[in-house]
Structure 1
Amino acid sequence: MPSEYPRVPVETLYSFMRDVFIGCGVPVDDAATCADVLITSDRRGIESHGIGRLKLYFDRIRKGIQQPTTNFEIIRETPTTAVVDGHHGMGQVIGVRSMELAIAKAQKFGMGSVAVRNSTHFGIAGYYPLMAIKAGMIGMAFTNARPSIAPTFGVQPMLGTNPIAFGAPTDEDCPFLFDGATSITQRGKFEVLARKGQPARPGWAINDRGETITDAEQVLQGFARDAAALLPLGGAGEDLAGYKGYDLATIVEILSASLQQGKFLWDLSGIAPDGKTQPNYLGHFFMAIQIEAFCPLADFKHSTGEIIRQLRASRKAPGQNRIFTAGEKEYYSEIETAKTGIAIVPNLQKDILEMQQALHLDQYKFPF
């Protein structure tokens, strides 16, 4: 990110986001949870899901699309599983409590799985496997989302970006953490590009005639009008196996809707049949695996560490200096942002100042 953008210290940004949530009616402890999920995204260099998404929650709470107070209801439960209704509360709170529940079950019985319905956007999916990693476990998280991906040979946005997140501890400070959309790039990337006034790459998105489009704002506006769609991993058609991304997104949709009997596909658009806004009815699925039920944790960490070290040490392509493994770049970003703070682009500065003024958070003095 260009050095001319002003930077805000991590702690200041975290405190501001927490206070915005509190100002919107979110209970103090829940506000801290929501802010922690968002600041983790910024710290890890994921611009699309941190402070850049705060205005989304601010607007949705004010419009009544999601509830600031979270009613976390367990509606079905076994020793190793649970089904949760989030009642359109704060997605981050629902996500954290669900993963805590999965971890607790895994600690007692070896595995724990929690399916969620009627939730809202829960931030970066990778936050939740990190919780399991800290508990010495393997963690997984899945979520469906607003329609944006077209199925292979289609042009209509039907599936969400439907990320898959998987994390495992290693014998290094950096765990293995994969967190990726099942589209070529996530919806949030287009939000970032639109804020910066930059185009998307050809082949990421198409219009309703199947033609590639690169105007980020056009893509974002086109989702709700059936006029634009993201392409699944692999791209259009079958030549580069785009059907694999399409099928992976469908797997996530099943895990995030069928087990919990939640809504799916176009019912997640946030638009009612009469054209008015409505809740997004999102679903999630969380899993925690107790490693000690299979082998000693230290042995697992060593084996996993050896896997990623051997991958990094393999022969490099011409002109390439090194090979990375999942979560490594984000780990280094956390170290860097702790020193430098978070860069804030001009359009995001406007959103921050608007929320600050609306909630009278005059104690914050931003460098813009």
Structure 2
Amino acid sequence: MTETPGKGVVVDAEPLARFCADVFERAGMDRDPARTQADVLVWANLHGIDSHGALRVPKYCAWLSSGVMNPQPQLCIQDNSPATFVVDADRAAGGVAMQAATRHAIGKARSNGLAWGIVRETTHTGPMGYYAAQIASAGMLAIVASSSRPLMAYIGARKAGVATSPIAMAAPGDRSEVVMLDMATAEIAIGKILKARATGDSIPAGSALTADGNPTTNSLEAALPMPLAGARGAGLSLMLECFQGVLVDHPLLAPALRGKPVVHSQNGLAAAIDIGLFGDVAGFRKRVDELGAAIKSLPRAEGVDAIYLPGEIELNTAAERRRDGIPLPT
């Protein structure tokens, strides 16, 4: 670890993961689940998604202490068809529950061609890309998402009506690494607001409202992220609630909007599709590369140095941070 005055510290990924895992173990988690959760956070830091990285450790520890996050959950995977399953997470750490779902989805898709799994009653799930990348690296198409209580303004409303509902979609290439879209349905993720508060930065205009429903760029006043592209982001979030919690009788939005006391909880989705169902896998990977090359060869707009594919900037950041270390604020 190195320290730069006024700029925080720089630490390598493995020591950071060991540190986070040790903290979680001291907070009551078993060793393997603690390391699983730590790996999720450090992956986020490596890929430049610092809002979902080690910044979350204090909040997770507070949840472990209060019982919001169960340090000793009894995960139960129910296979209700050859292609579908439900993970009853027992309020497990989100990374632990989602990783179990991801591995199970890959296994079912290898055996049956596709898998659609829902995680019921977990906690903060972290970056969807962590799980989607694993599915794509197994040679499959991936769709991974999560949903939570109302955190984001619904279009036309002054109060929270839907969740920020992150979603990731990934496909494997041949020479290229995984092509992956990893996004929230909000103009700004809650984690990015938290990061801005920690660093004293402002947030972009039009990205959030105050608790009273007024626009703000002050991260300390920001309470409600705005939906991405207005009605599109709000509608996508609502539909993701239908595809997750509503589907398995663990809705999160409607009970909260009806006034039921809100306790932090999330649901998740992990879906995998065997590309071989549709033809030659090697040919698919080659065509993904060809598509990427065609996009990157487009004439660039004035002032643009490079055209990037979804997830490419994050992959470049990960390569840099594996080499140079992960910067952390102090």
Normalised by the length of structure 2, the TM-score is 0.94
Look up the match of 2:24. 21
Task: Report what 1:129 is aligned to.
Answer: 132
Question: Identity percentage over the alignment?
Answer: 29
CA contact (8 A) 1:137 1:288 kept: yes
d(CA) in 2 for partners of 1:247, 1:103: 29
Q: Deviations over 1:44-93 (max 9, x none)?
A: 01110010111111110011111012211134511110122111012111
2:218 is the counterpart of 1:229: no
CA contact (8 A) 1:163 1:179 kept: yes
1:45–1:268: structure 2 CA closer, same or farther, 3 Å change rule?
Answer: farther
Aligned to 1:299: 283
Counterpart among 314, 322, 325 of residue 338 in structure 1: 322
CA distances 1:280-323 after superposition (whole Å, capped 9, x unpaired): 23111110000111111110101111111111111111111111
More deviation, 146-155/30-39: 146-155
Q: In the TM superposition, what are the counterparts of 1:121-160 in structure 2 within 5 Å?
A: 121-160=124-163
Deviation at 1:16, TM superposition (A): 0.2
- C-alpha contact (below 8 Å) 2:241/2:251 kept by paired residues: no
Conserved 8 A contact 1:262-1:281: no
Residues in 2 aligned to 1:173 and 1:266: alpha-carbon distance in whole angstroms: 42
Aligned position for 1:83: 86
Q: Which one of 81, 97, 109 corresponds to residue 94 of structure 1?
A: 97
Q: Is the 8 A contact 1:17 1:54 kept in 2?
A: yes
Q: Which residue matches 1:359?
A: none
Please say which of residues 125-134 and 72-81 is displaced more in the overlay: 72-81
Give the SS at the match of 1:126: helix
Supply the AA of the counterpart residue of 2:38.
Answer: A
Pairwise CA distance, 1:28: 1.0
Q: Report Cα offsets for 1:114-136 as digits up to 9, x if no partner.
A: 11211111211111111111211
**Aligned partners of 1:211, 1:79: CA distance in 2, in Å?**
49
Mapped contact 1:118–1:280 kept (Cα < 8 A): no
For residues 209 and 19 of structure 1, do their structure 2 counterparts lie closer, same or farther at Cα, with a shift above 3 Å needed? Answer: closer
Aligned pairs, number: 326
Choose the corresponding residue for 1:257, options 245, 265, 274. Answer: 245
Matched, 1:7 2:2: no
1:205: which partner in 2? 208
Q: Following TM superposition, by how much is the alpha carbon of 1:172 offset from its aligned partner in structure 2, in angstroms?
A: 2.6
1:355 is matched with which residue?
A: none
Matches of 1:126 and 1:246, distance apart in 2:
21
Q: Which amino acid aligns with 2:97?
A: I
Hey, what's the Cα distance between the residues in 1 that align with 2:193 and 2:149?
Answer: 14
Q: Is the 8 A contact 2:150 2:256 kept in 1?
A: yes
1:161–1:249 contact (8 Å) kept in structure 2: yes
CA distance in 2 between partners of 1:33 and 1:268 (Å): 30
Q: Please report the RMSD computed on the Cα atoms of aligned residues, expressed in angstroms.
A: 2.0
Give, as a single letter, the amino acid of the residue that structure 2 aligns with 1:18: A
Match of 1:51 in 2: 54
The TM-score, its normalising length taken from structure 1, stands at 0.84
What residue number does 2:236 align with?
Answer: 248
Normalized per residue, the structure richer in strand is 2
Which residue pairs with 2:63 in the alignment? 60
Distance across 2 between alignment mates of 1:130 and 1:208: 36
What is residue 42 of structure 1 aligned with on the other side?
Answer: 45
Distance 1:85 1:21 in 2: 21
1:111 aligns with 2:106: no
Distance apart, 1:279 and its partner CA = 4.0
Quickly say closer, same or farther: Cα 1:113–1:72, change in 2 above 3 A: same
Distance 1:266 1:56 in 2: 26
Tell me by how many angstroms 1:3 deviates: 8.3
Q: Residues 268 and 282 of structure 1 are in contact (CA less than 8 Å); yes or no, is this contact kept in structure 2?
A: no
User: Contact 1:125–1:163 (CA<8 Å) still a contact in 2?
Assistant: yes
> Which of residues 254, 268, 271 in structure 2 aligns to 1:287?
271
Deviation at 1:210, TM superposition (A): 4.2
- Letter paired with 2:96: V
